[in-house]
């Protein structure tokens, strides 16, 4: 499927837009305003009730399938192509049956036309964790290097189609699109047999097994960012990705970033990013930027250029603002005895991200952690997280084991179950008597023989999904931040 094929579809063939969320609505606006596609040839489907869509009336479309009858759309003989929202699993039974009936390229990512037209000017970012931070870093670096760059895709709420305003649009050479891509989006792109020319892959951890069939399916979906374009693909990835990928070793033009490269770059460039994971994100971002600026895939030359420009990069990184809810410092309370930092790491909903937060906030001997787990359990592998907690146990003051995930972590650590503890109830109770918590902490560290003023790091790094007590993870983060900001301690 390409744009010409879409425009020349027989009149009896209809489209289905599945999942009426932000990305699909912006794609719909592009179909209407730029392609001038007849909306009477478009059906909408969503398992939730959709009563209205901005700038459209539901009567403009061929028909709508909402609520419990949304699956009836798959029985409509006139629907030949489905453009699906990125949050819907590509390999669901209904979609697989539709492909069997209509062809492997009949279920599409809405990004397919954009990638086909602007492939050479797209930088695709994927990985289990660090996608958003790496995308933001690359965007920041490219803008400061003189590129007209746009950051869009996945969690941004901005579809790249917002920047395609004329059907035959041409772009200047310095125009770049930094597009963050999820595993589902890449799986969809893979069915269309297209991949990107330039991509960065942060890491491959075990995750999303509640949504993917198994871990190999998950990692293979990420590989779609390059696998269908092996001759022209340039990939920057960590050695951890190379270890887990089934296809990356076959790509000729790649740079594999290992610990030695990360250490070399981070010894050159000063920044305020916390944690080894962010040092890796920054290293990949700098390598990508220099490869574009100097049009080279030669790592030695790229590293020499980074060293020559270390003062420039140090300066521009002082203006980089880390993303919200990713080890985000919300509040600091200073007392004569200690420093108290509150970190919102609410986007950390899987174990390896939490393990990274634990290490990031206990890097120095005078740093001690009060960690809060909460949420629904997605059945992720806990081995690395529990190993990290045991390794740092001397610097862990307190852990709140809330929700399903808290209960499973506790049971894995102590071989005994605990009752389900409500996060809102426990946090409210503890923050209401915060001064007593600090007295307890001072007692905890009294025999530590610290050489520096102690720092208590209070970190919401939930490890679980938010849907037990909150509508989404942002609702949980905002609730927690309001509690943090209401704390009173010795006049602070």
Domains of the chain: 3-109 (3.40.50.720), 112-317 (3.40.1190.10), 328-485 (3.90.190.20)
pLDDT score for 213: 59
CA 312 to chain centre: 28
Radius of gyration in angstroms for the set of CA atoms belonging to the chain, rounded to a whole number:
24
If you ran DSSP here, which 8-state letter would residue 251 be given?
-
**Taking Cα atoms as reference points, which of 396, 382, 463 lies closest to residue 423?**
463
Residue 439 burial (CB count, 10 A): 11
Query: d(Cα 110, Cα 164) in Å, to the nearest integer?
Result: 13
Q: At what angle do helices 131-144 and 310-317 cross, to 10 degrees?
A: 120
- Is 352 in contact with 128 (CB distance < 8 Å)? yes
Can you give the pLDDT of all 492 residues of the chain as single tens digits?
A: 899 999 999 999 999 999 998 889 999 999 999 999 999 999 999 999 998 898 899 999 999 999 988 999 999 999 999 999 888 888 889 999 999 999 989 999 999 999 999 999 999 999 888 888 999 999 999 999 999 999 998 778 889 999 999 999 999 989 999 999 988 889 889 889 999 999 999 988 765 555 555 677 777 888 999 999 889 999 999 999 999 898 999 999 999 999 999 999 999 999 988 888 899 999 999 999 999 999 999 999 999 999 999 999 999 999 998 778 989 999 999 999 999 999 999 999 989 889 989 999 998 999 999 999 999 998 888 999 999 999 999 999 999 999 999 999 999 999 999 999 999 999 999 999 999 999 999 999 999 999 999 999 999 999 999 999 999 999 999 999 999 999 988 766
**Taking Cα atoms as reference points, which of 12, 150, 19 lies closest to residue 82?**
19
**Beta-carbon contacts of residue 250 (< 8 Å; ≥ 6 apart):** 230
Query: d(Cα 477, Cα 466) in Å, to the nearest integer?
Result: 10
**Taking Cα atoms as reference points, which of 145, 123, 147 lies closest to residue 134?**
123
pLDDT score for 184: 83
Q: Are strands 455-463 and 396-401 parallel, antiparallel or unpaired?
A: unpaired
CA distances from 196 to 93, 190, 265, 280, 394 (A): 28, 11, 26, 22, 46
Q: What is the 3-state secondary structure (H, E, C) of 162-231?
A: HHCCCCCCCCCCCEEEEEECCHHHHHHHHHCCCCCCEEEECCCCCCCCCCCCCHHHHHHHHHCCCCCCCC
Query: d(Cα 313, Cα 297) in Å, to the nearest integer?
Result: 20
pLDDT score for 208: 55
- φ and ψ of 70, to 5 deg: -65, -30
Name 237's bridge partners.
Answer: 201, 256
pTM greater than 0.75 (yes/no): yes
pLDDT score for 129: 83
Q: What is the pLDDT of residues 373-399, one digit of tens each?
A: 999 998 888 999 999 999 999 999 999
């Amino acid at each position: 499927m390409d744009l010409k094929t879409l425009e020349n579809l027989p009149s009896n063939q209809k489209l289905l837009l599945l999942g009426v969320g932000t990305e699909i609505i912006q794609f719909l606006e592009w179909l209407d305003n730029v392609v001038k596609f007849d909306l009477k040839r478009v059906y909408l489907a969503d398992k939730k009730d959709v009563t209205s869509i901005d700038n459209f009336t539901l009567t403009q479309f061929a028909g709508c399938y909402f609520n419990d009858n949304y699956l009836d759309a798959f029985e409509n003989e006139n629907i030949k192509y489905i453009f699906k929202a990125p949050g819907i699993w590509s390999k669901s039974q209904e979609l697989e049956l539709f492909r069997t009936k209509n062809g492997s390229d009949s279920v599409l990512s809405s990004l397919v036309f954009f990638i086909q037209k602007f492939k050479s000017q797209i930088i695709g970012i994927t990985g289990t964790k660090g996608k958003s931070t790496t995308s933001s870093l690359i965007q920041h670096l490219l803008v400061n290097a003189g590129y007209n760059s746009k950051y869009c895709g996945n969690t941004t709420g901005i579809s790249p189609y917002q920047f395609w305003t004329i059907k035959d649009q041409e772009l200047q050479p310095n125009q770049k699109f930094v597009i963050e891509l999820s595993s589902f989006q890449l799986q969809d792109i893979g069915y269309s047999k297209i991949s990107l020319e330039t991509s960065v892959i942060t890491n491959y951890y075990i995750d999303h097994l509640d949504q993917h069939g198994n871990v190999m399916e998950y990692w293979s979906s990420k590989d779609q960012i390059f696998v269908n374009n092996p001759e022209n693909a340039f990939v920057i990835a960590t050695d951890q990705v190379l270890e887990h990928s089934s296809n990356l070793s076959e790509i000729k033009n790649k740079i594999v970033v290992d610990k030695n490269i990360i250490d070399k770059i981070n010894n050159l460039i000063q920044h305020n990013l916390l944690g080894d994971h962010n040092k890796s994100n920054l290293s990949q971002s700098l390598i990508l930027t220099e490869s574009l600026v100097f049009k080279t895939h030669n790592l030695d030359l790229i590293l020499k250029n980074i060293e020559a420009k270390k003062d420039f990069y140090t300066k521009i990184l002082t203006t980089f603002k880390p993303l919200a809810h990713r080890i985000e410092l919300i509040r600091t309370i200073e007392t004569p005895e200690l420093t108290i930092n509150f970190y919102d790491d609410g986007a950390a909903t899987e174990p390896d991200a939490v393990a990274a937060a634990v290490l990031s906030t206990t890097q120095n001997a005078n740093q001690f952690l009060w960690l809060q787990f909460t949420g629904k359990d997605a059945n992720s592998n806990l081995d690395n997280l529990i190993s990290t907690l045991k390794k740092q146990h001397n610097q862990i003051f307190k852990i709140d084991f809330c929700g399903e995930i808290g209960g499973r972590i506790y049971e894995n650590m102590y071989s005994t179950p605990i009752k389900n503890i409500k996060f809102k109830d426990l946090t409210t109770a503890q923050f209401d008597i915060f001064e007593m918590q600090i007295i307890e902490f001072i007692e905890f560290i009294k025999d530590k023989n610290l050489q520096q003023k102690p720092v208590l790091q209070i970190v919401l790094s939930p490890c679980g999904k938010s849907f037990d007590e909150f509508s989404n993870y942002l609702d949980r983060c905002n609730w927690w931040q309001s509690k943090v900001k209401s704390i009173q301690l010795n006049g602070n």
